[in-house]
Amino acid sequence: MTARTDEGTPPQEDRQAPPGLATAPSWAGPALARVLARVAVTRTEVGDRFPLYADPGTGTWRTTARGSWTGGFWAGLLWLRARYTGDAADRAVARACTARLAGWAEADTAARGLIFWYGTALADDEPSLRDRAARACLNDFVPELGLVPWGSAFGGPRLTARVDGVPGMVPLLATANPEAALSHLWRHVELWLGARPPRWSWRHEPGAGWTACADPPPGWSRGRAWLLLSLAEAAPLAGGDEFLDHVGRLLTEHLVPPADFAHPGGPCDTSAAAVTALALLGLGHRDRAVAVLKALVDNHLTADGRLLDGCYDLAAETAVRQELIWGDFFLAYALAVLTGLRGQDLRPDPFAARAAPPR
């Protein structure tokens, strides 16, 4: 299967009713079944480790011991499979995987949004871990900056704002303090609006303010997808709809975008497309979401459920045409929402953050 970019014109459409099984396209259910069957195969291969990315030819996974910033996506996939099968053994495996994320709860990184929202949002019995992580994130919120800094857990300056520290963090932080959650999003949106071409990472220096970082590059398509998902996650919060005017600026004509818009002939990034599809469903743009998902299923999903042609880091030439664990997760999650999967009371709206009362 070769990587390629699929293009189309974004349709003019009104916000639509939530998708469901009655209106799901015929290909969506079988595609979800394939991805979740792949989860079972991956589980056997990786054991207690966390998959990161897989060789497109052999399907063999590169793994990590503690999960890094992607551990929540693996836990989320296991919970999706457990919801899909209703099997107690699948639920036990998902529960054990989520428990192994606990060591990240107090880690100094805004990536805890990715880890703990997506690692627990589909769980049926993990509120204590999610609440612990949310309180720890709130403790790290810097009022003077209006955000939870990217932090030092992965190296680099602590007082950094990165767009991949926003998705997941918004709904996670909202469970502890909705005002802090919206502030966190607004600071990143403000920084994004303040530079052209857009920048996805900023460093703060006392007395000097914010300075744009060169990495990730302005053309990073996953940056757009992460921010779009964050807008969708904020929409259900009181005051969250004020961000919706920015949705159009984040959409492009591509169904599956290049990993870097500065290199349109280079590798695409199916994980960016999968993130975008879930965001579009949350924003009510169903037709566009379905078009993105169909492009992924038709052109990039293998018969054994592997979403290929994901690009981890083009600049570093790391896993530029691979199966990525977060690509699999967001594809499965979007297909689950599209098909109206309920399983054992699967939350129908992944964007309905359970917000705490304003303080």
Q: Is 326 helix (H, G, I), strand (E, B) or coil?
A: helix
- Give the DSSP H or E segment for 54: strand 50-54
Q: Which residues of the chain have pLDDT under 50?
A: 1-19, 342-348, 353-354, 357-359
The rounded distance, in Å, linking the Cα atoms of 227 and 252 is 13
Beta sheet of 323-324, edge-to-edge order: 61-64, 50-54, 323-324
Number of H helices, E strands in the chain: 12, 6
> What's residue 124's pLDDT?
85
Phi, psi of 30 (to 5 degrees): -60, -35
Measuring CA to CA, which residue among 36, 138, 29 is closest to residue 90? 36
pLDDT digits (tens, 9 = 90+) for 143-186: 999 999 999 999 999 999 999 999 999 999 999 999 999 999 99
The rounded distance, in Å, linking the Cα atoms of 136 and 240 is 23
With 0-12 / 13-18 / 19 or more C-beta atoms within 10 angstroms meaning exposed / middle / buried, residue 86 is exposed
The rounded distance, in Å, linking the Cα atoms of 119 and 123 is 8
Residues with Cβ within 8 Å of 159's Cβ and at least 6 positions away in sequence, in order, are: 142, 145, 149, 203, 204, 205
> What's residue 125's pLDDT?
77
Q: Which residue has the tokens 């589909």?
A: 122
Its pTM surpasses 0.85? yes
- Give the DSSP H or E segment for 162: strand 160-162
> What's residue 352's pLDDT?
52
> What's residue 109's pLDDT?
98
Q: Is 351 helix (H, G, I), strand (E, B) or coil?
A: coil
The rounded distance, in Å, linking the Cα atoms of 121 and 115 is 10
